[in-house]
Structure 1
Amino acid sequence: MNQVVGQGGFNIRNPVLLIGCVILTNLAGFVGSFFTATGAGSWYADELIKPWFIPPNVAFPIAWTTIFILMGIALYLILAEGTGRADVRIATALFSCQLVLNILWSYAFFTLQSPLYGLIEIIILWIFILAVTISFFRINKRAGYLFIPYLAWVSFATVLNGSIYLLN
Protein backbone atom coordinates (compact mmCIF):
# COMPACT_ATOMS: atom_id res chain seq x y z
CA MET A 1 0.00 0.00 0.00
CA ASN A 2 1.26 3.48 -0.77
CA GLN A 3 2.09 5.72 2.14
CA VAL A 4 1.57 9.42 2.26
CA VAL A 5 4.37 11.05 4.21
CA GLY A 6 3.60 14.31 5.94
CA GLN A 7 6.00 16.77 7.49
CA GLY A 8 8.12 15.42 10.31
CA GLY A 9 7.95 11.86 9.03
CA PHE A 10 4.26 11.37 9.91
CA ASN A 11 3.29 8.40 7.75
CA ILE A 12 -0.31 8.12 6.69
CA ARG A 13 -0.57 4.45 5.80
CA ASN A 14 -4.33 4.50 5.59
CA PRO A 15 -5.80 7.93 4.74
CA VAL A 16 -9.35 6.54 4.84
CA LEU A 17 -8.82 5.35 8.42
CA LEU A 18 -7.35 8.71 9.39
CA ILE A 19 -10.30 10.59 7.92
CA GLY A 20 -12.72 8.15 9.55
CA CYS A 21 -11.12 8.65 12.97
CA VAL A 22 -11.29 12.43 12.67
CA ILE A 23 -14.92 12.26 11.51
CA LEU A 24 -15.80 9.89 14.36
CA THR A 25 -14.42 12.19 17.04
CA ASN A 26 -16.02 15.27 15.50
CA LEU A 27 -19.30 13.37 15.26
CA ALA A 28 -19.16 12.93 19.03
CA GLY A 29 -18.77 16.68 19.35
CA PHE A 30 -21.68 17.20 16.99
CA VAL A 31 -23.89 14.85 19.04
CA GLY A 32 -22.86 16.59 22.26
CA SER A 33 -23.79 19.95 20.75
CA PHE A 34 -27.44 18.85 20.56
CA PHE A 35 -27.49 18.93 24.37
CA THR A 36 -25.68 22.27 24.63
CA ALA A 37 -27.54 25.57 24.70
CA THR A 38 -25.53 28.65 25.60
CA GLY A 39 -27.16 31.44 23.62
CA ALA A 40 -29.43 34.25 24.78
CA GLY A 41 -32.53 32.93 26.46
CA SER A 42 -30.84 29.73 27.61
CA TRP A 43 -30.49 28.56 31.20
CA TYR A 44 -26.71 28.83 30.83
CA ALA A 45 -26.75 32.41 29.55
CA ASP A 46 -29.55 33.86 31.64
CA GLU A 47 -29.67 32.01 34.95
CA LEU A 48 -26.17 30.91 35.92
CA ILE A 49 -23.61 32.99 37.74
CA LYS A 50 -20.30 32.34 36.00
CA PRO A 51 -16.77 32.97 37.27
CA TRP A 52 -14.71 35.90 36.03
CA PHE A 53 -12.30 33.63 34.13
CA ILE A 54 -14.85 32.08 31.79
CA PRO A 55 -13.71 32.32 28.16
CA PRO A 56 -15.94 34.01 25.59
CA ASN A 57 -18.47 31.70 23.96
CA VAL A 58 -16.58 31.82 20.64
CA ALA A 59 -13.58 30.09 22.28
CA PHE A 60 -15.48 26.87 22.99
CA PRO A 61 -16.22 25.68 19.42
CA ILE A 62 -12.69 26.60 18.32
CA ALA A 63 -11.10 24.73 21.21
CA TRP A 64 -13.37 21.70 20.91
CA THR A 65 -13.00 21.38 17.15
CA THR A 66 -9.23 21.49 17.48
CA ILE A 67 -9.30 18.95 20.32
CA PHE A 68 -11.62 16.58 18.41
CA ILE A 69 -9.28 16.71 15.39
CA LEU A 70 -6.26 15.95 17.60
CA MET A 71 -8.19 13.11 19.26
CA GLY A 72 -9.00 11.65 15.84
CA ILE A 73 -5.37 11.77 14.75
CA ALA A 74 -4.31 10.17 18.04
CA LEU A 75 -6.87 7.38 17.59
CA TYR A 76 -5.58 6.80 14.07
CA LEU A 77 -2.00 6.50 15.32
CA ILE A 78 -3.09 3.91 17.89
CA LEU A 79 -5.16 1.88 15.43
CA ALA A 80 -2.26 2.00 12.96
CA GLU A 81 -0.18 0.10 15.53
CA GLY A 82 -2.39 -2.95 14.95
CA THR A 83 -5.84 -3.73 16.25
CA GLY A 84 -4.81 -7.29 17.10
CA ARG A 85 -2.65 -6.10 19.98
CA ALA A 86 -4.17 -6.35 23.46
CA ASP A 87 -2.82 -2.94 24.52
CA VAL A 88 -4.37 -1.32 21.44
CA ARG A 89 -7.72 -2.96 22.16
CA ILE A 90 -7.63 -1.74 25.78
CA ALA A 91 -6.61 1.77 24.71
CA THR A 92 -9.39 1.98 22.12
CA ALA A 93 -11.93 0.70 24.65
CA LEU A 94 -10.85 3.44 27.07
CA PHE A 95 -10.99 5.93 24.19
CA SER A 96 -14.54 4.84 23.36
CA CYS A 97 -15.61 5.23 26.99
CA GLN A 98 -14.19 8.74 27.27
CA LEU A 99 -15.87 9.71 24.00
CA VAL A 100 -19.26 8.63 25.37
CA LEU A 101 -18.52 10.39 28.66
CA ASN A 102 -17.66 13.54 26.71
CA ILE A 103 -21.14 13.53 25.18
CA LEU A 104 -22.77 12.70 28.52
CA TRP A 105 -21.22 15.75 30.17
CA SER A 106 -23.19 18.04 27.86
CA TYR A 107 -26.34 16.13 28.74
CA ALA A 108 -25.68 16.23 32.50
CA PHE A 109 -24.73 19.90 32.60
CA PHE A 110 -26.98 21.50 29.98
CA THR A 111 -29.98 19.22 29.44
CA LEU A 112 -30.38 18.30 33.11
CA GLN A 113 -29.31 21.86 34.00
CA SER A 114 -27.17 20.48 36.78
CA PRO A 115 -23.72 21.86 37.53
CA LEU A 116 -23.48 19.17 40.24
CA TYR A 117 -24.16 16.26 37.86
CA GLY A 118 -21.89 17.92 35.33
CA LEU A 119 -19.11 18.17 37.92
CA ILE A 120 -19.43 14.53 38.94
CA GLU A 121 -19.49 13.45 35.31
CA ILE A 122 -16.54 15.63 34.23
CA ILE A 123 -14.39 14.24 37.05
CA ILE A 124 -15.10 10.72 35.76
CA LEU A 125 -14.41 11.94 32.21
CA TRP A 126 -11.09 13.46 33.35
CA ILE A 127 -10.03 10.15 34.90
CA PHE A 128 -10.78 8.35 31.63
CA ILE A 129 -8.93 10.98 29.59
CA LEU A 130 -5.90 10.51 31.84
CA ALA A 131 -6.14 6.73 31.40
CA VAL A 132 -6.36 7.13 27.62
CA THR A 133 -3.41 9.54 27.59
CA ILE A 134 -1.25 7.12 29.58
CA SER A 135 -2.28 4.12 27.49
CA PHE A 136 -1.68 6.05 24.26
CA PHE A 137 1.78 7.16 25.45
CA ARG A 138 2.69 3.53 26.10
CA ILE A 139 1.72 2.54 22.56
CA ASN A 140 2.67 5.61 20.52
CA LYS A 141 4.25 8.71 22.05
CA ARG A 142 2.86 11.02 19.37
CA ALA A 143 -0.67 9.83 20.13
CA GLY A 144 -0.08 10.49 23.83
CA TYR A 145 1.19 13.99 23.14
CA LEU A 146 -1.87 14.70 20.98
CA PHE A 147 -4.08 13.98 24.00
CA ILE A 148 -2.37 16.51 26.29
CA PRO A 149 -4.36 19.54 25.02
CA TYR A 150 -7.58 17.60 25.66
CA LEU A 151 -6.49 16.72 29.19
CA ALA A 152 -5.51 20.36 29.80
CA TRP A 153 -8.78 21.73 28.41
CA VAL A 154 -10.92 19.32 30.43
CA SER A 155 -8.85 20.16 33.52
CA PHE A 156 -9.77 23.80 32.94
CA ALA A 157 -13.39 22.84 32.21
CA THR A 158 -13.50 20.91 35.49
CA VAL A 159 -12.39 24.00 37.41
CA LEU A 160 -14.93 26.05 35.47
CA ASN A 161 -17.72 23.54 36.14
CA GLY A 162 -16.79 23.38 39.82
CA SER A 163 -16.78 27.19 40.04
CA ILE A 164 -20.22 27.38 38.45
CA TYR A 165 -21.48 24.78 40.92
CA LEU A 166 -20.11 26.76 43.88
CA LEU A 167 -21.47 30.07 42.59
CA ASN A 168 -24.94 28.71 42.00
Structure 2
Amino acid sequence: MVRTQRAHAAMLLRLPSDMLLKIASHVVAPGLVVAAGKNLEARTALRKGTDAAERSRFGGIGLTIKEAEHRLRGPYMLDGPVEAKHLETRRAAGSALLKAIPYPDDELAIALIAYGADVNATHPGIGYTLLHTAHEARNPPRLASFLIAAGAGRPRRPLQSSK
Protein backbone atom coordinates (compact mmCIF):
# COMPACT_ATOMS: atom_id res chain seq x y z
CA MET A 1 0.00 0.00 0.00
CA VAL A 2 2.73 2.47 1.01
CA ARG A 3 4.79 1.45 -1.99
CA THR A 4 1.84 2.15 -4.31
CA GLN A 5 1.30 5.60 -2.78
CA ARG A 6 4.98 6.43 -3.21
CA ALA A 7 4.84 5.30 -6.83
CA HIS A 8 1.82 7.51 -7.49
CA ALA A 9 3.50 10.47 -5.77
CA ALA A 10 6.65 9.91 -7.85
CA MET A 11 4.61 9.92 -11.07
CA LEU A 12 2.89 13.13 -9.99
CA LEU A 13 6.19 14.84 -9.21
CA ARG A 14 7.56 14.05 -12.68
CA LEU A 15 5.08 16.51 -14.16
CA PRO A 16 6.35 20.03 -14.94
CA SER A 17 5.64 22.64 -12.25
CA ASP A 18 3.25 24.63 -14.48
CA MET A 19 1.18 21.46 -14.93
CA LEU A 20 1.21 20.82 -11.17
CA LEU A 21 0.03 24.39 -10.55
CA LYS A 22 -2.82 23.95 -13.03
CA ILE A 23 -3.89 20.65 -11.45
CA ALA A 24 -3.81 22.07 -7.93
CA SER A 25 -5.70 25.23 -8.96
CA HIS A 26 -8.69 23.11 -9.99
CA VAL A 27 -8.76 20.93 -6.87
CA VAL A 28 -8.76 22.05 -3.25
CA ALA A 29 -6.48 19.27 -2.03
CA PRO A 30 -3.76 20.27 0.43
CA GLY A 31 -2.78 16.59 0.45
CA LEU A 32 -1.13 17.18 -2.93
CA VAL A 33 1.33 19.56 -1.28
CA VAL A 34 2.16 16.94 1.33
CA ALA A 35 2.65 14.35 -1.43
CA ALA A 36 5.37 16.54 -2.94
CA GLY A 37 7.57 15.80 0.06
CA LYS A 38 10.90 17.62 -0.05
CA ASN A 39 10.68 18.57 -3.73
CA LEU A 40 10.64 22.36 -3.28
CA GLU A 41 9.70 23.22 -6.87
CA ALA A 42 6.73 20.85 -6.85
CA ARG A 43 5.62 21.93 -3.34
CA THR A 44 5.70 25.60 -4.36
CA ALA A 45 3.68 24.99 -7.52
CA LEU A 46 1.15 22.82 -5.70
CA ARG A 47 0.83 25.30 -2.79
CA LYS A 48 0.22 28.21 -5.20
CA GLY A 49 -2.36 26.19 -7.11
CA THR A 50 -4.11 25.00 -3.96
CA ASP A 51 -4.24 28.55 -2.59
CA ALA A 52 -5.73 29.80 -5.87
CA ALA A 53 -8.37 27.06 -5.75
CA GLU A 54 -9.26 27.87 -2.12
CA ARG A 55 -9.61 31.59 -2.89
CA SER A 56 -11.93 30.92 -5.82
CA ARG A 57 -14.24 28.62 -3.82
CA PHE A 58 -17.82 29.66 -3.18
CA GLY A 59 -18.02 32.13 -6.04
CA GLY A 60 -14.71 33.84 -5.31
CA ILE A 61 -14.69 34.26 -1.55
CA GLY A 62 -11.06 35.37 -1.78
CA LEU A 63 -9.64 33.62 1.31
CA THR A 64 -7.73 30.43 1.84
CA ILE A 65 -8.61 28.27 4.84
CA LYS A 66 -5.38 29.32 6.53
CA GLU A 67 -6.03 33.05 5.89
CA ALA A 68 -9.57 32.71 7.25
CA GLU A 69 -8.28 30.98 10.38
CA HIS A 70 -5.65 33.70 10.84
CA ARG A 71 -8.36 36.39 10.67
CA LEU A 72 -10.67 34.50 13.02
CA ARG A 73 -7.94 33.89 15.59
CA GLY A 74 -6.87 37.55 15.48
CA PRO A 75 -7.35 39.72 18.56
CA TYR A 76 -10.28 41.65 17.02
CA MET A 77 -12.32 38.51 16.43
CA LEU A 78 -11.37 36.51 19.53
CA ASP A 79 -12.11 39.47 21.80
CA GLY A 80 -15.44 40.00 20.07
CA PRO A 81 -17.94 37.60 18.54
CA VAL A 82 -15.74 34.55 17.93
CA GLU A 83 -14.32 32.41 20.72
CA ALA A 84 -11.63 29.74 20.32
CA LYS A 85 -14.25 27.02 20.93
CA HIS A 86 -16.08 28.19 17.78
CA LEU A 87 -13.11 27.11 15.67
CA GLU A 88 -12.83 23.55 16.98
CA THR A 89 -15.31 21.89 14.56
CA ARG A 90 -17.31 22.77 11.46
CA ARG A 91 -20.49 22.50 13.52
CA ALA A 92 -19.18 24.93 16.17
CA ALA A 93 -18.11 27.34 13.42
CA GLY A 94 -21.63 27.00 11.96
CA SER A 95 -23.18 28.07 15.25
CA ALA A 96 -20.78 31.03 15.34
CA LEU A 97 -21.89 31.83 11.80
CA LEU A 98 -25.51 32.00 12.95
CA LYS A 99 -24.44 34.65 15.47
CA ALA A 100 -22.25 36.46 12.92
CA ILE A 101 -24.95 37.10 10.30
CA PRO A 102 -26.44 40.20 11.97
CA TYR A 103 -22.97 41.46 12.90
CA PRO A 104 -22.33 44.82 11.20
CA ASP A 105 -19.33 43.54 9.24
CA ASP A 106 -19.98 40.76 6.69
CA GLU A 107 -16.28 39.87 6.74
CA LEU A 108 -16.78 37.81 9.90
CA ALA A 109 -19.39 35.63 8.21
CA ILE A 110 -17.28 35.35 5.06
CA ALA A 111 -14.20 34.31 7.08
CA LEU A 112 -16.26 31.64 8.86
CA ILE A 113 -17.55 30.30 5.51
CA ALA A 114 -14.01 30.21 4.09
CA TYR A 115 -12.82 28.48 7.27
CA GLY A 116 -15.31 25.67 6.63
CA ALA A 117 -18.25 26.47 8.88
CA ASP A 118 -21.27 24.21 8.54
CA VAL A 119 -23.47 26.31 6.24
CA ASN A 120 -26.48 24.13 7.00
CA ALA A 121 -26.43 24.92 10.72
CA THR A 122 -29.83 25.59 12.23
CA HIS A 123 -30.81 27.89 15.05
CA PRO A 124 -31.42 25.63 18.05
CA GLY A 125 -34.52 27.44 19.28
CA ILE A 126 -36.41 28.21 16.09
CA GLY A 127 -34.88 25.87 13.54
CA TYR A 128 -34.07 28.58 11.01
CA THR A 129 -31.07 28.03 8.75
CA LEU A 130 -28.43 30.53 7.71
CA LEU A 131 -30.40 31.28 4.55
CA HIS A 132 -33.36 32.27 6.71
CA THR A 133 -31.25 34.83 8.52
CA ALA A 134 -29.19 36.10 5.56
CA HIS A 135 -31.51 39.09 5.19
CA GLU A 136 -30.03 40.49 8.43
CA ALA A 137 -26.55 40.76 6.89
CA ARG A 138 -25.02 44.00 5.70
CA ASN A 139 -25.12 42.78 2.09
CA PRO A 140 -27.78 40.01 1.96
CA PRO A 141 -27.43 39.04 -1.75
CA ARG A 142 -23.64 38.70 -1.44
CA LEU A 143 -23.86 36.60 1.72
CA ALA A 144 -26.68 34.45 0.33
CA SER A 145 -24.68 33.75 -2.84
CA PHE A 146 -21.66 32.67 -0.75
CA LEU A 147 -23.86 30.45 1.42
CA ILE A 148 -25.48 28.79 -1.61
CA ALA A 149 -22.10 28.34 -3.34
CA ALA A 150 -20.75 26.79 -0.11
CA GLY A 151 -23.56 24.22 -0.16
CA ALA A 152 -26.28 25.73 1.99
CA GLY A 153 -29.39 23.74 1.27
CA ARG A 154 -32.92 24.87 0.88
CA PRO A 155 -34.31 26.03 4.22
CA ARG A 156 -35.89 23.13 6.11
CA ARG A 157 -38.54 25.29 7.69
CA PRO A 158 -40.38 28.04 5.79
CA LEU A 159 -40.28 31.54 7.18
CA GLN A 160 -43.41 32.69 8.95
CA SER A 161 -45.03 35.52 7.04
CA SER A 162 -45.99 38.48 9.16
CA LYS A 163 -49.56 39.55 8.50
- TM-score normalised by length of structure 2: 0.30
RCO higher in structure (CA 8 A, sep ≥6)? 1
- The TM-score, its normalising length taken from structure 1, stands at 0.30
